[in-house]
Structure 1
């Protein structure tokens, strides 16, 4: 026990290393690993959810050049400039086709009238991302048609929009609610205006944003004889009561399309429904968050479609009147930029703050220990090389002493490695150096022993010859021979067994070669 303690003291003095401090650090190192695992289990899911960045999404919009198509281009511009997502804008016939594509998983998002999407929302098939405009129902005719209100289209020829469009869906809702029978025309908007001017239809239906209806505005400018039919209050009441999540009361302001002469020339009561960006409930939440944030953060650019966004609170207007909002979109409306989730999570989680503090502290401490161990290891290698060089000078003179010294050094290395002062790699290098030199010492010892044995055998042979020819002289030399044996034993040139054998060999020689009357054995 005292030998080990002495070697530990020598090791400390040899390398000037605070072993006690290292032992105290080894426990925090375990804590470091524990908190590394803990922090990883908390931070990795957060970081991975925040770092994942979808590169592109698909959006079904509307006819090329139309209002929905331009809206999709605006959304694409927002996502690309704010979150780096490219949107592939797919043309379509309108809301109903867009919704169908969403059901069939052909697209990620779709622009749809709220009344078109309402049933699917109630069934949980789709959820809203944001309101991007309000669309007004407008039944347009010419002043000479004799039509005064919506109810007057009974039995008339009316262009109700192309199949698959939101215009056709909304117009059908109004006609069915008012129990009207009409002659439906499926022409698109441009063809419908041409037919109206040519007298081939009595009226046409349009549902869209007032400010974004460039085509409608141009037709009113070019033809002052156009007018908008008011919808009866009873029909408005009926639809808003039965479908409060689809329709709202609305007023088409006087002078909406031209100021002189004002068109319309008075306020027109009507209905409105929202233009909604929708998606499936199972759409990747990160995609929904990024798209929602791109719209929210650039809300004023949508005032060309949704005038209230110019001065109103975007987070409220973009979800106004919505009952079925996607949870990821709702989170963005409530919390803001999704990339700030880590900061918010950090502020609201003191346990995480403590864990990260310990993680950072122990990481820094671990780096310091690692650097310290590197310096210590290099110092130890240099000192070991120096010690071996010194012992090589002793090897020729006293291989046994050199062997003891190198074994002591090897034991010091072992104790320092156990204390964690050096790495396994450095310890193996040190062991290789000490073992190599120890083998040299043993080889030198073996050669020295062989020489001593040969010299001793020659000495015994010479003594035996002297014993035969001159017993008296041999007896005088016997003491010198015995002392030679003892010197060999003390110098570790022979072990105790070899020493006894030599003594026995000498005794046998005396007994064999000398006459029994002589008393040499007693003297021996």
Structure 2
């Protein structure tokens, strides 16, 4: 943040709720930052209350990661009751076995986070009061880390983990040149970045943050039709007769605009609901994937094959929204189903050949 205020950077990525927006403007909401309470397997830590007197990495001073960690500790009455380490980043001190806990608020694609969780030495601790924290903090919302997100065998996490998420924002000076901001937005939303970063918010999803103090060019980019204020100013300058005509026209426009926005919100709700359903179907295929490992019983294999086929057909019948069909997660799901079907069919074919 200091680099931005000192003019050493044009833009920064900052965590929601972790920065003062005075003199700054949000350029874009980028992706969800998810809170991970990462604990060592061998320390007997099974709940957040067990963090008392433990050695914990919270994050660098002034960072959004540290602020999120302190908010969590404060809710559970643990501020000042943990032993904070000097490490500023959670992957620091990799060989220090004395570190019990790392509280990490980061995107799920963070390579350091994935490396730590795939090591087999750590597990994720759930936040049972996530709903209560969401109500008290406008920057947090409930998030569930699905089973096996970071590792398949054995799965990490072993079960879905309730936690919290905030949003990573692209932030710049409020007086930054509009052309520079427009180029940055185009590089984020129009050059295929979502293919490399599937958790990136879409342009449609980004409109949900229009109530934040956005840079003028960013607001125009996300909502180019928002000319109601300009229309009102024109109407006030007209004579009484013309004012009535424009008022009628404005009323029609506002009704149309409200209807359009309502339709967009409904579309967003449908997409979110179908994505949640897709996650559920994907979790079911992962469970079948785990069950078929080492399985040789032909009858059971055929049942699993039928289950996978039904799941795939269910997805094709129920998940029909165009945006979801074009999403990378849907392609991953179909690929997973096809691979699993081929694998089970191969096992069945081997069994039949031996008869």
TM-score category (smaller protein): 0.5 to 0.7
Q: Which residue of 2 aligns with 1:326?
A: 215
Mapping of 1:232-311 within 5 angstroms? 232-233=128-129, 236-244=130-138, 246-298=139-191, 300-307=192-199
Q: Separation in 2 of the partners of 1:272 and 1:252?
A: 10
Q: Separation in 1 of the partners of 2:209 and 2:224?
A: 20
**Preserved contact between residue 147 and residue 157 of structure 2 (Cα < 8 Å):** yes
2:113 maps to 1:216: yes
C-alpha displacement of 1:138? 0.5
Using structure 1 for the length normalisation, give the TM-score.
0.40
**Preserved contact between residue 15 and residue 166 of structure 2 (Cα < 8 Å):** yes
Q: Separation in 2 of the partners of 1:255 and 1:130?
A: 30
1:189 is paired with a residue whose SS is coil
Q: Please list every run of 5 or more consecutive structure 2 residues that lacks an aligned counterpart in the other structure.
A: 226-355
**Preserved contact between residue 133 and residue 306 of structure 1 (Cα < 8 Å):** no
2:121 maps to 1:225: yes
Deviations 1:313-342 (A, max 9, x none): x22223444522222101112339xxxxxx
**Preserved contact between residue 29 and residue 169 of structure 2 (Cα < 8 Å):** yes
Q: Which residue of 1 aligns with 2:17?
A: 115
**Preserved contact between residue 150 and residue 232 of structure 1 (Cα < 8 Å):** no
Mapping of 1:3-152 within 5 angstroms? 99-117=1-19, 120-121=20-21, 124-152=22-50
1:116 is paired with a residue whose SS is coil
C-alpha displacement of 1:275? 1.2
Structure 1 moving runs of 4+ over 6 Å = none
C-alpha displacement of 1:106? 2.9
Structure of higher RCO (CA pairs closer than 8 Å, 6+ residues apart): 2
Structure 1 residues 263 and 303, CA, compared in 2 at 3 Å: closer, same or farther?
A: same
1:167 is paired with a residue whose SS is helix
Q: Separation in 2 of the partners of 1:205 and 1:304?
A: 26
Matched length: 221
Q: Separation in 2 of the partners of 1:273 and 1:192?
A: 26
Q: Separation in 2 of the partners of 1:241 and 1:102?
A: 31
Structure 1 residues 177 and 104, CA, compared in 2 at 3 Å: closer, same or farther?
A: farther
2:103 maps to 1:184: no
Q: Separation in 2 of the partners of 1:168 and 1:308?
A: 23
Q: Separation in 1 of the partners of 2:64 and 2:86?
A: 13
1:263 is paired with a residue whose SS is coil
Structure with the bigger percentage of helix = 1
Q: Separation in 2 of the partners of 1:155 and 1:266?
A: 27
1:152 is paired with a residue whose SS is helix
Structure 1 residues 253 and 334, CA, compared in 2 at 3 Å: closer, same or farther?
A: same
Q: Rg larger in 1 or in 2? A: 1
Structure 1 residues 169 and 316, CA, compared in 2 at 3 Å: closer, same or farther?
A: same
2:52 maps to 1:154: yes
Q: Which residue of 2 aligns with 1:367?
A: none
2:166 is paired with a residue whose SS is strand
Using structure 2 for the length normalisation, give the TM-score.
0.57
